[in-house]
Amino acid sequence: MVEVWTEKYRPETLEDIVNHEHVVERLKAFVEDESLPHLLFTGPAGTGKSASSLAIAKDLFGEKWRNNVLELNASDTRGIDIIRNQVKDFARSKAVGDVPFKIIILDEADALTPEAQHALRRTMENYTETARFILICNYSSKIIDPIRSRCSIFRFPRLEREDASVLLREICEEEEVSYDEEGLEAIFSVTRGDLRKSINLLQSVSATGKEVTEEVVYEVSSQAKPDAVEGMLKNALDGKFTEARDRLQELILEKGISGIDIIKEIHRQVYDLDIEEKRKVRLVEKMGEYEFRLDEGADEQIQLEALLAQFASS
């Protein structure tokens, strides 16, 4: 059976969490005092929110952590029934061991309906002696104010390039995977600090049996290479529409790159262009319009060619 590397290399304790020293130090203090408040973890995907919540449980309860933790994904069960039944039943029972409370982890809590969130607020009030809640979300603004006011809020930023690279190197050495620095740099460029996605991509590349290089990473991830998009973009801005269109067709038809991914890569690069600010503003405005068209189901090739035409005539 093939191991999933994101599970194999999941942090076991708070000491294993990387790039979030300011968060870890506060969480360690809570664990040492066994005075954990309700917590709200917010930030982009793959930045260590779920891993940190499980690390807290393992540090608090040791080997008995599974008996004292209820882990739910709120996006699967968004309604009020999950709060009234499963969560409340678990919260009212006593913890196993010396720690006087259990932990309830609600992943993707921002997917809960407003009714479910109000029921959750009441449960947090009524069972504060026997249960602590760790709510995990990408957007804290989608959590109602009464819940946010009851929680200590921790924000998890994306991982820094060097921290992600250090961990990827350790995994490569542990799994005996050949790599070069350009390959690891390409992984970070594709995943943008999402460590879970980075590890999954590394495992996918290693499964090909090839060395982890820049070329293989972009091939496996089906992402546009920055220099290919840069060349297309420069052609368009120089008024060479036909050459830009040829490069676009190569990306879509030969490389199989999705239109949304191409627009996202253009968006990353447009701010570095050596053009006046007003022109950049117009380009960003056009990208937003055409990204919306693609999201609504318009034909990728036609819309991207139209976007390049806008760039060429801007």
Q: Are residues 34 and 87 in the same domain?
A: yes
Q: Are residues 198 and 231 in the same domain?
A: no
Q: What is the pLDDT of residue 1?
A: 40
Q: Are residues 10 and 150 in the same domain?
A: yes
Q: Are residues 140 and 112 in the same domain?
A: yes
Q: Are residues 11 and 72 in the same domain?
A: yes
CA angle (170 as vertex; 166, 176 as ends), nearest 5: 140
List average pLDDT for each run of 10 residues in the chain, which is 314 residues long: 77 84 88 90 91 92 90 71 80 86 91 88 89 93 93 90 88 92 91 89 90 90 85 91 92 86 89 87 92 92 93 85
What's the rounded Cα separation, in Å, for the pair 224 and 199?
Answer: 19
Range of the domain at 288: 226-313
Domain containing residue 207: CATH number: 1.10.8.60
Nearest to 242 by CA among 310, 305, 303: 305
Q: Are residues 266 and 190 in the same domain?
A: no
Q: Are residues 13 and 151 in the same domain?
A: yes
What's the rounded Cα separation, in Å, for the pair 278 and 234?
Answer: 17
pTM above 0.85, yes or no: no
Q: What is the pLDDT of residue 193?
A: 83
Q: What is the pLDDT of residue 292?
A: 94
| Boundary residue ending a domain (221, 249, 265) | 221
Q: What is the pLDDT of residue 94?
A: 85
Q: Which residues pair with 152 in a beta bridge?
A: 39
| Boundary residue ending a domain (172, 206, 221) | 221
Q: Are residues 45 and 122 in the same domain?
A: yes
| Boundary residue ending a domain (221, 254, 269) | 221
Q: Are residues 41 and 142 in the same domain?
A: yes
Query: How many domains is the chain partitioned into structurally?
Result: 3
